[in-house]
Amino acid sequence: MQQIRKECFAISLGERDKFCAGIAAPVFSSGNILIGALSLSGPKERFSPKAVARMKGPLLAAARELTEALEGTYAIPEPFTDGFCCIS
């Protein structure tokens, strides 16, 4: 969980099923309590580095929007860039 809190992003490439992949971003409520995640999943071959880079921004934007609607705080600045913290 700490890695996800730090990066606001998780990726799985065939870890549970060798043919499946997915990316996810956490969603927080007030008090910055982790309450869930938004994810995209599908066949592993659709998750090339270029495809993941293309999906990451919109996924993080949606997670931020949902977090803010739930009165949580998403401290990652826009545009979303690797290396920023999600929760301050």
- Dump pLDDT digits (tens) for 57-66: 999 999 999 9
pTM for the model stands at 0.78
2-69 sits in which CATH class?
Answer: alpha beta
More confident residue, 82 or 59: 59
Domain map (residue ranges) of the chain: 2-69
Q: Report whether 34 contacts 25 (CB < 8 A).
A: no
Q: How far is CA 35 from CA 7, 14, 27, 32, in A?
A: 17, 25, 6, 9
